[in-house]
Structure 1
Amino acid sequence: MPFKSFETATIEVDGNVSSLIVVHSAPLMRMGIASALRLFAGLNGRTVHQGGSLAEVSGAIREAGRGAILIADVSTWTALEKDATGLRDHVRETPIAVALVACADESAHRLLQLRGVSGVVNPECEARELELAISEIADGKTYFKHENRLAPTSGMAKLSSRQVEILELMTRGLLNKQIAWELGVTEGTVKSHVSAILEKLGCDRRTQAIAAFLQSLGVGTSASTPRQLNA
């Protein structure tokens, strides 16, 4: 899709932000985020690029420079982590800050920070919180508010940071050998961690562990389902 054909809206953003890119698979959520961004005051005019998938905003990402912020849902972040076309490298090397709109538990927050995500915003937050998150990230800080975290998914809190990282790579479809290469460890080390992950999560198969990880990110969580937040 040509760059000029993206749905755009002129908004005001902080001088530290060069551009904003909003990617969300749900059109109403995407429009809501853009509408919230338009409420920001006392800032310089910029254009926010919108799309329903990573492919739709690839041009905007490639043209983005330092100071850009990518606001995305979990599926977009997962696609970015799997990307083999150079987009992921561009985001990391530019660098472009990544903020996720997600309901994630504490274990997932640890992983997201480890993987370079700058912040997580609850999809049910007020516009003011989104503004605060963008402001913090624009200043080079991270935004992981304790009160926005879901209570730890059963078993996930028992995993070490390395095990959470391996579980995320499993979610991307990587085999033990590929995970070992990605992390610079032996395949035997990965196998040991995978066995420990399955035991701690009470799972018999990798697919069950992957489902538990996705639940920790809030994937599939209904907005109508009560969520217990950490105190």
Structure 2
Amino acid sequence: MQPDPPPLCRAPEEAFVRDHTRLRAVPYLPELRLHQADDPYGLWEYSEDTGLPFWAFAWTGGLALARHVLDSPELVRGRTVLDVAAGSGVVAVAAALAGAAEVTASEVDSYAVAAINANAEANGVSVTAVRRDLLDSRPSGHDVVLAGDVFYDKAMSRRVEPFLREAAGAGALVLVGDPGRRYLPRGAFTALARYDVPVSRTLEGSRRRRTTVWQVPAR
């Protein structure tokens, strides 16, 4: 693995990510290391102009989905994978470690893209991070579409559900990791596995969350 470039050679977003996080092990995913913030809300207050730093943590739905992919690598091995609203890229990195032929991680935030690139590098895998809002476009023909913790608010849910359904209808395997967020479509998806995921009390208000991996049906 190549050493980190000197700070002056880094983009501002990448420098910010590296300066305000620590590379460390991920709870529930000992195979991975991620650049993570020590204090989520402290970083948010410090970086108000960048928005909520969702890229600085591994959220619960993503942890469960990444665990599922690593435990069942045949789901992605040799296939093209898209991680939608990828955040830190934890699911994308897991897919790459599990043997996916090609992994793309999409995000709308430039700091998230920088975090995904840094996390892929830290784990020695190749992930193409793109800054693009895909939800108003047609799915791009990936074999597998993964989405961790995307049903956290009404506006996002109204946009992401049709995208995931269209991808499934086009023949993709579409998997969602969700810990019971309020806007998850109830009774609409098929439960594949459940995990008791250790989480940050600061973020989730508890030490563990029961989290389900769902398959979006092709209909």
**TM-score scaled by structure 1?**
0.32
Higher helix share: 1
Larger Rg: 1
Higher strand share: 2
